[in-house]
Each structure stands twice: as C-alpha cells, then as structure tokens.
Amino acid sequence: MSGPVALAGADAPEPATDTPASCSPVNLATVLPTRAPLADWSENLGFDAAGNGWVARNLRNVVERYNRDGRVVASVPVSSPGAIRLGPDGLLYVTFGNSPVAGLARQGGVLRFDPAAAAPQPEIFVSGLGQANGAAFDSAGNLYVADTLSNTVERIRPDGTVDAGWTQRARNALAANGSGADGIVAAGDVLYVTLLESPTARIVALPIDDPARASVAVDLSPAPLSGPLLPDDLAIGPGGLLYVATGSGQLVRADPADHTSCTLLSGQPLTSVAVNPSDDHTLILGTEGGDVLKAHLT
C-alpha cells in the first residue's frame, strides 16, 4: 500500500499467474509476509479515516495496525475477529465471534474503538449475534452483519439495536439462494452478499428497502468444475465492479449489471479484499496463510 496505508515497506513479487484474456492484467506483490503460517490467518482488512491499514488475525484473537516497516504499532484484542469497517462516526467497527462455536452459542457481535487513540479501548456495540463475519454500512448509518452459520444478514440500527423483521426477511431470501452468508458490501440501495457454501459460488443482490426481493447478482461458477469456489469477502472497485476473494485461491472480478465474471489471478487461498483508499486500482488481499498481498489493476 502507498502512503499511510502501507503495511510493509518493500513489495516482494509473487509468482506470475495466468490471467484470462477477458480480465485486466494484475501485478501481485506481498506487502506483509506472514510471521507464522496459518496462525497468522489474515481474516479481514480495513482502513481508518487516516488511511491506516488494519488486519484481523482471527486465530490470534487480535486486530493489528502495521507501519511501513511491517511492525505492529497498535493492537486491539478481539475474540475471533471478522470484518473491519470504518463507521460514519470515524470509529472502527469489528465483528467478533466469527467462528462456528461462537455462532452456535450466540456469542457473536460488533465492537468499536477509536483508531486514533494511543491505546484503543474497544467497547461492545452489539452482542448476542451468531457467527458475525462480514459487515457493511449503508448511507443511513445502518450496519449489516453476515451471520455465516445461520445464513442471514443482521441489520443493526445506528443505536445498536437489531432490526429483527428485516433480518428475518433477509434470512428467508438467502435461504432460497444458497447458504453460508459471508461477505457484504453496500452499493447505493443494494447489498451484495456472498454465499460461501453455494455450489455455484453465488453473489446475491439484496435490496435494502425490501430484502425479500433478493435476486442473483452473479454465479461465479455456474457449472462447478473440480470443486467449490468458496466466495468469501468482496469489495467494490472502479465502475461498480465487484472483486471477490475466494477460499479456493482465486481473485474474481464480477459485473452485477450483466451477471458475468472472470478470474484475475489464482494462488493461495484468499480471505478478504479491500480497495486502497488512496488508489482505487489497488486491492489489498488477506490470505489463510497470513500474508497480506497487493494486487494492482493495470
């Protein structure tokens, strides 16, 4: 990452990968090498208002900020952290309880903290959720949290209360499309939600005003080949295109307008994708092994 969002000083090139002709070329580099493969699992990525990058280390129960030399300069304890999202109030919101065990016990939720504080102190924003995974804010300040185990999206009002009616309508709509609600991104009046366990690697378009009118945005793998694609986190890039990280190791670009997709790169299993706030043609990727990668769209 460039500027204040850099997570490491030098970029280590990744091995070249074949890119389909229908996709733009991608330059890939490692910006933050893992210190302990797998234990460093980088579940999600986010940025504060100053453009600093934060990484959720799910298996180590911590959210960390790094400087350009790759050193940890801030650390916040979070139990099984998931998505990291900047709230309209300038605080960082982090989902917690992102594990099946926490989901079964309804121990998931969202905490928040001031990322500019010398020693950020997390406070609970909402608790009693299931497996709290992906998250996104809409323009009205409502927070949407994906419960992967229960296959729904929880709508959290700005005061921290759950909109149970909206959530139930979302649950019913998603159940008709697949299972494993995981990543969420908001685009105007629509939420795009990935279904991790869908055999066609489905992304659902969920209208905010009426989630019951859910539709298929795109099936990333309409004819499953050797195995599941496992769509995880996603982000919106230039032109409203979706960029999807998959557990099978692909970074996929999808166009919800014409329901098409193509693979940008293949490699190690990916967990998350975020757009660099200072350069919308650069994506930052989290991995199961713990590396944080940079993919530049050329």
Tens digit of pLDDT for each residue in 108-145?
A: 999 999 999 999 999 999 999 999 999 999 999 999 99
In the chain, % of residues over pLDDT 90? 85
pTM of the predicted structure, to 2 decimals: 0.92
Tens digit of pLDDT for each residue in 50-79?
A: 999 999 999 999 999 998 788 899 999 999
- Average model confidence (pLDDT) for the chain? 91
Strand partners, 204: 193, 216
Q: How many domains does the chain have?
A: 1
Strand partners, 136: 144
Instruction: Tally Cβ neighbours within 10 Å of residue 259.
Output: 15
What CA–CA distance (Å, rounded) separates 160 from 190?
21
Of 239 and 21, the one with more pLDDT:
239
Under a CB-based contact definition with an 8 Å cutoff, are residues 5 and 47 in contact? Answer: yes
What CA–CA distance (Å, rounded) separates 72 from 54?
10
Helix or strand or coil: residue 100?
Answer: helix
List the CATH number of the domain containing 222: 2.120.10.30
In residues, how long is the chain? 298
Tens digit of pLDDT for each residue in 172-186?
A: 999 999 999 999 999
At 264, list the tokens. 């940008």
What CA–CA distance (Å, rounded) separates 107 from 99?
9
**Which residues are within 8 A (CB) of 93 and not within 5 positions of it... i.e. 6 or more apart?**
84, 85, 86, 87, 110, 111, 112, 125, 135, 137, 143
What order do you get walking across the sheet with 143-147 strand by strand? 132-137, 143-147, 152-156
> Where do runs of H (alpha helix) occur along 57-179?
100-104, 164-175
Q: What is the structure's pLDDT at 224?
A: 56
Domain that holds residue 179: 3-297
Tens digit of pLDDT for each residue in 36-51?
A: 999 999 999 999 999 9
**Closest among 259, 274, 172, 271 to 230, alpha carbons compared:** 271
Burial of 255 by CB count in 10 Å (0-12 exposed, 13-18 middle, 19+ buried)?
A: middle
Tens digit of pLDDT for each residue in 214-265?
A: 999 999 987 655 567 899 999 999 999 999 999 999 999 999 999 999 999 9
Q: What is the structure's pLDDT at 183?
A: 98
Long-range pairs for 69-74: beta carbons < 8 A, 24 or more residues apart: 69/8, 69/9, 70/7, 70/8, 70/9, 70/32, 70/33, 74/115, 74/119, 74/120
Helix or strand or coil: residue 60?
Answer: helix
What CA–CA distance (Å, rounded) separates 208 from 248?
30
What CA–CA distance (Å, rounded) separates 254 from 252?
6
